[in-house]
Structure 1
Amino acid sequence: MAKTQESTSKPPIYLLDSMAFIFRAYHAMQRQRPMSTRTGIPTAATYVFVNMINKLRKDFQPQYLAAVYDLAGPVFRDAQAKGMKDVKKFNIKTQQFDTIEYAGYKATRTETPPDLIQQQPYIRRALEAFRIPILSFEGFEADDVIGTLSCQLSALGHKVFVVSSDKDMMQLVNADVSILNPTKDNLILDSRGVEEILGVPPERVIDVMALRGDSVDNIPGAPGIGDKGSIELIQQFGTVEAALDRAEEVKKKTYRESLQNNRDNILLSKELVTIHTGVPIEFSLDDMKTQAPDNAACRELFAELEFTTLLKELAPSVDNTEIVYNTKPTDAELSSLLAEARKTGGLAISIPPDARALSEEVADTTTDPESPEVEPEPAAPQTMSLFGIPDAPTTAVAAPIQDLACKLGLSASPFLALEAALDREGVREALEDETLPKQLHDLKAVLRALEPHNVTLRGPVTDVMLESYLVNPTHGSHTLIDIAARTTSRALTHQITKANPSDPNRLPEAAAAVQRLATALTSQLTEANPEPAEPIAPPPGKTPLNPASTLHDVYRHMDLPLVPVLLHMEQAGVRIDPAVLRDMSARLAVDIDTLAEKIYTDSGHRFNINSPKQLGEVLFNQMGLPKPMKYGKGKVVSTAQDVLEELAQNHPIAALVIEHRQLQKLKSTYLDSLPTLVDAEGRIHTTFNQVGTATGRLSSTNPNLQNIPTRTALGREIRAAFIAAPGNVLMSADYSQIELRLMAHFSQDPLLLNAYRTNQDIHTLTAAEVFGVDAGTMDKETRARAKAVNFGIVYGISPFGLAAQLNIDQKIAKTYIETYFDRYKGVRTFIDKTLETVRTDQAVRTAFGRVRPIPDIGSRNPNMRGFAERTAVNTPLQGTAADLIKLAMIALDREITRRELKSKMTLQVHDELLFDVVPEEVEEMQALVKDEMENVAEFSIPIVADVGVGDNWRDIKG
């Protein structure tokens, strides 16, 4: 029937097959990265589903949209299925059909996973927050509701898009109804598309599905025919009925016998796969009209589920009234601002937190790599000032929150370029006023910006970046925009981007956000203090640790005081000898080429070893090596590290590829890149990050100096390039067996305590206790095996892991672990009590009060739960060690400054510190460093720091 011009102009309507996408989202994320909140709520399916809705709305901007849901309870197909008495299933081995009892429609479906059931209410809340109506009808499935609505809505003159990845939906396609599959790059299937994919037109989809059956829904179809056969038969006969009536014409015996022996079941299967279009459901087109999301509801849901990225993408909330910032305050306005800040207790300061990266990005936006003759346009002075490009001033802002601006009667908050602000009356004095509190994000960046202007920031400081990290250490990002999205209901609307690098409102808005966040996060720090364990009694005369410390105590006494220490280390830098690295690089290049030739010879092919696709083709298709278990139909075969390591046990070429990769990584990451990063004095200035790890450890970037390998000869050789300034010596101070010593402290195991108090070798002791080897006759290999057991226990190693590490049978490894716990009973008790506490609190603490949430401790996923248990046991050890060296760094920096020593602390790598020491201070520095590191905190066993000096890092000796 022809449509009038009026009917064809009606907007299309989108019907979402909700449950299909919920299950798809769930299983997709289970294979990739399970997600949960800090309180243990699983969120993966919800997150993917919400993102799919967002993408659908963005890509198609539907004017009408509805979500169709299944309801719990029986449907009419259950009654239909009762007529299916039994099923004949084709047995490949016997080449006969076996009769089996039919279990009923969908009876073989596995139960919905509990963690998906837990997410269902949140998904419905998401739809409600998006103001998308949810449609369903008792006794019918979502497919039937979609089919009915498709017919009725298209009859009203609307085009209908069924948003689904279910092939069954193809039977609904006609001139007015199409399938939209967002998981296939927004593939839209019309009638022609269905026939291209399935081989039959939409009206014959039911017949194909009836023959195929569906193992998921327990629809048997025609056993033995399969996907290919079902298409061939319907292409030949047109319908299921015709194929059944003319079965004797089918040439293939298995097809023919299946049709002849399963007529009733095949016909019933057709009934079961048919989507019914007569559901007596009532609907309102007005309700389906797309509305703007309920921002308040979205923000509440996303904050609860910790969807930081989604929070940032929300439109400003209702309290985000637009503020026109005053970027040119008069002297009177500025004076009033500073006076009011002193009365109200704080001044917020903001500078671009990512100044270096953005400045480089902006400066390079006009360069065309394909046209080298085109020179990049210089960045505008305002941009250079704003981002702090070298040799240009850094922009900063001293601004009140909106409330303060209102109190002052100002129309906006003052915004000042730093170099201009420091010349204004009262500004420098305010920044250096010890009684005036300051609020900011990233204290180190602010100190770095102020230092060239000879301004020393003084007074109580609230750094919302550090506070956010203490509250949420497992979050991957602590940028201001992310913190604001997670913590407040007020979005940051002015963002510095490549397209808009000099938004003048960005910094005053950021300062306003900082002051709001300072209040909220400081309150959270004070409250976030789970009940601690009882303090462990130290030896007589020693000061006990205080496990009852609040997170705010950790902030005040550890994380905040560490900031200027790290800045001093970054500015000092660590000196390297580029010639050593260049010589190594040249030698390694030869070794890499030799390895490559060996790989080419052994494989019989020349190919790009660095290409996973080409490597997989050679190893698995050309050479026929066994494919990894995870390899699936249509997927590229993985050549990941774990796959190659497993192959290497039986196939030498895989070991060659692993070695080739390792050498190339060393060469590119260190040997080739480090020499390009030295300054005029031959020093590298890494950037230390306090908020980059969940463990409490520091990380470093540009370059990352925390991961220089130490266990291989090549890794140690790289350390030979790290040297002192001319005439100076390099000093290293390394905590000895710190995590094992802390295990003794936490577990209070008598054997461990006695070993460390009497200075016994712990690895020799363990070898004697676990392996039954006499200490006097013990060789190095036996001690090394004991060392693997000791550290393996700390990291929760399994019999499988220990067996692989020691190259022994799993049963023997299991015996080693059991014997260890039998001898070191205190360790077993410590692990059991820690897990018991974490299962209750869903968090674990260091000895100094730092808290790490572990929400997956109760996960039903055994891999996630196992990782959570290992984390729970290791965090008190590794986290306390990380806190300990931070305290030592603070004490050392303070003492070096007080004594006016010329030596400098230049690098921290986990449990080790590196110093550039002038000759006349060597003895004093050795004594000072050892004393501070060993006594900065007291434990129930002695803490030992090994201190040595040398010409380079590799050759340092005690």
Structure 2
Amino acid sequence: MPDQAKPPVFLLDTMNFIFRAYHAMQRSRPMSTRSGLPTAATYVFVNMIRKLRQDFSPHYFAAVFDVSGKVFRDDRAKEIGSLRKWNSKTQCFEEVGYEGYKAKREAMPEDLVRQIPFIRRSLEVFRIPILEAEGFEADDVIGTLSCRAAEQGHDVYIVSGDKDMMQLVNERVKVLNPQKDNLVLDAAKVEEVLGVPPSKVIDVMALRGDTIDNIPGAPGIGDKGSVDLIKEFGSLEAVLDRAEEVKRKTYRESLQHNRDAVLLSKELVTIDCNVPLQLDLTAMVTQEPDLEGCRELFTELEFTSWLKELAPAESAVKFELIESPTAEQRAAFFSTARASGFAFAMDAAQPAPAAESDEEPAQPTTMSLLDVAEAAEKQADCSIGVCAEPGVALALQLNDELRSLLGDSQVPKRVHDMKAAMHALRPQGAKLHGAIDDVMLLSYALNPTHTTQSLADVAARNGHAPPASLTSAAAIVNALAPALRTHAEESDVAKVYDTIDLPLAPVLYRMEEAGVRIDKRVLSTLSTRFGAEIERLGERIYELAGQRFNINSPKQLGVVLFTHMGLPAPVKYGKGKTISTAQDVLEQLAEKHEVPRLVLEYRHVSKLKSTYIDQLPLMADADSRVHTTFQAAATSTGRLSSINPNLQNIPIRTELGREIRAAFTAAPGSELLSADYSQIELRLLAHFSNDPLLVRAYQTGEDIHTLTASEVFGVPVESMDKETRARAKAVNFGIVYGISPFGLAAQLGIAQAEARAYIERYFARYQGVQAFIEKTLAETRRTGSVRTLFGRVRPIPDIESRNPNQRGFAERTAVNTPLQGTAADLIKLAMIALDAKITDRKLKTRMVLQVHDELLFEVPADEKEEVEELVRAEMEGVVKLNVPLVADLGFGPNWRDL
């Protein structure tokens, strides 16, 4: 019996679990960071390590890896010259060649290859030793260490899901499979699961072979046959010696013709328990994880939930939280705050939700601004967490003295999400003035690719425990603000924070407070109209499909399209192997079939009705104004996004989308003014590339699409038609977004060779653009990031990826970010300048909406001329480029008719 006083030894079959983790997550939930680094296998692996430590508290624990390169089995496998395999068609055995041990194993998927270094790092930060031996596989290392640990009186748990490990099971050695609810396989369980005791596992495995490792076994003898034969004859050697007694003909002939291959297969499946290495239990003693290493790794992989579980870093602020301060403590706070500033935190600040993409942030479940305002107004006593002295935070009622402090322009303040704080303070009769640092915006400037910039996440990424109260939040903000500012200055992003992001926050606050007016009568009419259109489309779909069904059910739609109508079904994918009816699938089918085209139209109309037409009236205040929330820290490019409701996604290129814009109106006595930057990204391309043709075209006012059509297609300007110009427009904007020949061919409906020729001719004519792209990519490869004209940074870690798809996406992102990001910064600067001028001139005009390159203003009739001149001057003069900026302006009674 094992010595019960000796702790058990846990040996992890690492690669076995890495592959299982990878394939499990590939089927169910692929994961990656915002920058594109795949993390699914790493996440599952780390979670398994954490759970294993939690469930078993192993005293001795090591992770065993395979070593790349040849192992002794490779040379032995070469001795198998050929095999005799049964051909079911000819009903006879045929000679076939043998490629070698593991010769058929596919190369490790590229996205898994990229995760292996992070998995090894995870073991390092958990202080779990990594064991490996040159010339041997992980199985052999595990077998050897298991035997030696058992000889010393230790129980051994082999953490694996590999059946081969069952041959090692004995009185002291067991197999533990965490992926099957911590199933422990002792000798009895092995026999129950496999059908033979551990001592016969090798015989069974030798007979059945292994397709993954290309171990031949006896061709034609599978799982059941191998167990039955060993049970009947007792051993592999007995089966081979008495092969003529085997009743089943195919089994009998396979054994007779492949005796040497089967015996060699037994050698290949037998785990070598005599690897020349020592069992060093001292090095395997479980230690506490390296918290700083975990913090760094989890931050890089964006495992924020685990960051929050870590104990605070040693550098983290130590809190003294005073929930009921005395008069002396309150007086001490005000004295210190007036002298050196203070941090504060309060309820009603909305966390920025995770963004699904740069353009479409995920819709959160947080309250709208209208709900926040109503909740704040009902709150009689507003409590605020404040911190002036490092680590000492108080909970204070928002009284006149604190209101005065918040509004004192001489007192510096620190907060997380200044805009949200301003909304929360307004119903309490308090305003913010003076120098303010915003922890959320500082964190965003440092790295815009983080999934969220909530205080809990920013705190966790910087070594602090998540705030548990307003007082702890204030203490954390007070500690984070100076540290992040120092980091911003060292990273050369402080300027973009100070000149763009921070001064924009109060501008966005005023826009959100103003809201944009809607005409409920227009929306009511549209609701009826859209409802009728949805019904018409549905009836037409039923007619063409030959049956009625739930069009909104992907399952029913799939049956109708691919079973009843016989349309070509897409590749099955996903855990349940369901047939997709996603938009991209229907778009391909719609090119040749009417029903999928109508389904796409049905979905489009239904979404517009449910998302905007029916919802906007419910979100309007008493003055019929809708108050969206602008997110200034949710996209990787620096663009603003809009939620509750999202007013940036109302389509402008479709007639139905434009009809919805007709419901956005000006207040009585006013008109709406739209100011839209013309071809801003192409103008920035001309500026960055300094290409002579582009620069001259914009300086002289020549139409850039007509020019490109002439240069690329060789069509004289005087005979240019609309279709040719439209194709040139697709090329121009495609270049900005790094379009491929495949993408351009699909967009224009032409052959890839023709599309490739267009792109090549473009670069031949616009050589400055080619040089700009090459220079940008070279700099991105050197630094791992890309910057806008104003210094906003975006990490591009995949720029050197060995995966061509990921590297290609990274390259396109690197080229586009300076253009799209600079455009975003330009309009932000224009917004800041216009807000200041409107305030200085005491105009009643209000800036009410921003949609990417467009600003929308509500302008009283008597201010139209002044505001038009002001808006044009500020937008076109916001920065000096080597090509002119042009803003297209238009007035109208609603957003459609400008």
Q: TM-score range by the shorter chain?
A: 0.7 to 0.9
Between the aligned residues of both structures, percent identity stands at 61
Aligned pairs for 1:264-413 (under 5 A) are: 264-276=260-272, 283=279, 291-303=287-299, 307-318=303-314, 323-343=319-339, 345-352=340-347, 354=349, 388=376, 390-402=378-390, 412-413=392-393
* Structure 1 residue 490 corresponds to structure 2 residue 464: yes
**8 Å CA contact 2:351, 2:453 repeated in 1:** no
> How much does 1:703 deviate?
1.1
> How much does 1:517 deviate?
1.5
Instruction: Give the 3-state SS of the residue equivalent to 2:383 in structure 1.
Output: coil
Aligned pairs for 1:642-657 (under 5 A) are: 642-657=584-599
Instruction: Give the 3-state SS of the residue equivalent to 2:662 in structure 1.
Output: helix
> How much does 1:49 deviate?
2.2
Cα 1:69–1:769, aligned 2, differ >3 Å: closer, same or farther?
A: closer
Match of 2:485 in 1: 522
**Mean alpha-carbon deviation: is it higher for 922-931 or for 774-783?**
774-783
CA distance in 1, matches of 2:135, 2:740: 50
**8 Å CA contact 1:37, 1:43 repeated in 2:** no
CA distance in 2, matches of 1:603, 1:195: 55
Match of 1:414 in 2: 394
Letter in 2 for 1:573: G
* Structure 1 residue 142 corresponds to structure 2 residue 138: yes
Query: CA deviation digits over 1:650-685, x for unaligned, max 9?
Result: 444433333333233222222222222111111111
* Structure 1 residue 57 corresponds to structure 2 residue 53: yes
Question: 669, 675, 678: which one pairs with 1:736?
Answer: 678
> How much does 1:811 deviate?
1.6
Query: CA deviation digits over 1:291-328, x for unaligned, max 9?
Result: 54332442344446554333222123456686441223
> How much does 1:924 deviate?
1.9
Aligned pairs for 1:391-540 (under 5 A) are: 391-402=379-390, 412-417=392-397, 419=398, 422-424=399-401, 427-487=402-462, 489-492=463-466, 494-495=467-468, 506-529=469-492
CA distance in 1, matches of 2:568, 2:245: 43
> How much does 1:428 deviate?
3.8
CA distance in 1, matches of 2:287, 2:189: 31
Match of 1:380 in 2: none
Cα 1:717–1:258, aligned 2, differ >3 Å: closer, same or farther?
A: farther
**8 Å CA contact 1:576, 1:721 repeated in 2:** yes
Instruction: Give the 3-state SS of the residue equivalent to 1:731 in structure 2.
Output: strand
> How much does 1:169 deviate?
3.3
> How much does 1:609 deviate?
3.6
Question: 739, 756, 762: which one pairs with 1:814?
Answer: 756
CA distance in 2, matches of 1:347, 1:896: 31
CA distance in 1, matches of 2:635, 2:86: 56
Question: 784, 801, 814: which one pairs with 2:726?
Answer: 784
The alignment yields a C-alpha RMSD, in angstroms, of 3.8
Query: CA deviation digits over 1:792-842, x for unaligned, max 9?
Result: 111111111111111112122112222222222222222222212212122
> How much does 1:698 deviate?
0.1
> How much does 1:938 deviate?
1.6
Letter in 2 for 1:469: Y
**8 Å CA contact 1:401, 1:516 repeated in 2:** no
CA distance in 1, matches of 2:807, 2:760: 21
Match of 2:831 in 1: 889
Query: CA deviation digits over 1:761-785, x for unaligned, max 9?
Result: 2222222222233333333222222
**8 Å CA contact 1:12, 1:64 repeated in 2:** yes
> How much does 1:579 deviate?
3.1
> How much does 1:331 deviate?
3.3
CA distance in 1, matches of 2:547, 2:423: 54
CA distance in 1, matches of 2:624, 2:430: 28
CA distance in 2, matches of 1:292, 1:847: 46
Cα 1:247–1:719, aligned 2, differ >3 Å: closer, same or farther?
A: farther
Cα 1:849–1:702, aligned 2, differ >3 Å: closer, same or farther?
A: same
Match of 1:610 in 2: 552
With the length of structure 1 as denominator, give the TM-score of the two structures. 0.82
Aligned pairs for 1:891-910 (under 5 A) are: 891-910=833-852
> How much does 1:571 deviate?
0.4
Letter in 2 for 1:273: V
> How much does 1:130 deviate?
2.3
> How much does 1:646 deviate?
3.0
> How much does 1:570 deviate?
0.3
CA distance in 1, matches of 2:889, 2:786: 32
Q: How many residues align?
A: 879
Q: Which runs of 5+ in 2 are unaligned?
A: 354-371
**8 Å CA contact 2:347, 2:424 repeated in 1:** no
With the length of structure 2 as denominator, give the TM-score of the two structures. 0.87
Instruction: Give the 3-state SS of the residue equivalent to 1:575 in structure 2.
Output: strand
Cα 1:911–1:182, aligned 2, differ >3 Å: closer, same or farther?
A: farther
Question: 587, 606, 617: which one pairs with 1:675?
Answer: 617
Cα 1:348–1:768, aligned 2, differ >3 Å: closer, same or farther?
A: same
Letter in 1 for 2:552: N
* Structure 1 residue 21 corresponds to structure 2 residue 9: no
Question: 188, 199, 206: which one pairs with 1:210?
Answer: 206
Letter in 2 for 1:707: N
CA distance in 1, matches of 2:84, 2:703: 70
**8 Å CA contact 1:399, 1:415 repeated in 2:** no
Question: 615, 636, 644: which one pairs with 1:694?
Answer: 636
Question: 513, 518, 521: which one pairs with 1:579?
Answer: 521
> How much does 1:875 deviate?
1.1
Match of 1:259 in 2: 255
> How much does 1:103 deviate?
4.8
Match of 2:358 in 1: none
Letter in 2 for 1:517: L
**Mean alpha-carbon deviation: is it higher for 459-468 or for 258-267?**
258-267
> How much does 1:177 deviate?
6.4
**8 Å CA contact 2:158, 2:173 repeated in 1:** yes
> How much does 1:178 deviate?
6.0
Letter in 2 for 1:351: M
Question: 205, 217, 220: which one pairs with 1:221?
Answer: 217
CA distance in 1, matches of 2:383, 2:892: 43
CA distance in 1, matches of 2:726, 2:214: 56
CA distance in 1, matches of 2:373, 2:729: 55
Letter in 2 for 1:491: A
**8 Å CA contact 1:147, 1:172 repeated in 2:** yes
**Mean alpha-carbon deviation: is it higher for 508-517 or for 28-37?**
28-37
**8 Å CA contact 1:78, 1:104 repeated in 2:** yes
**Mean alpha-carbon deviation: is it higher for 159-168 or for 48-57?**
159-168
> How much does 1:211 deviate?
3.9
Aligned pairs for 1:533-572 (under 5 A) are: 551-572=493-514
CA distance in 2, matches of 1:18, 1:772: 61
CA distance in 1, matches of 2:235, 2:516: 78
Question: 934, 941, 949: which one pairs with 2:891?
Answer: 949
**8 Å CA contact 1:352, 1:387 repeated in 2:** no
Instruction: Give the 3-state SS of the residue equivalent to 1:413 in structure 2.
Output: strand
> How much does 1:941 deviate?
1.3
Letter in 2 for 1:471: L
Match of 2:160 in 1: 164
Letter in 1 for 2:650: I
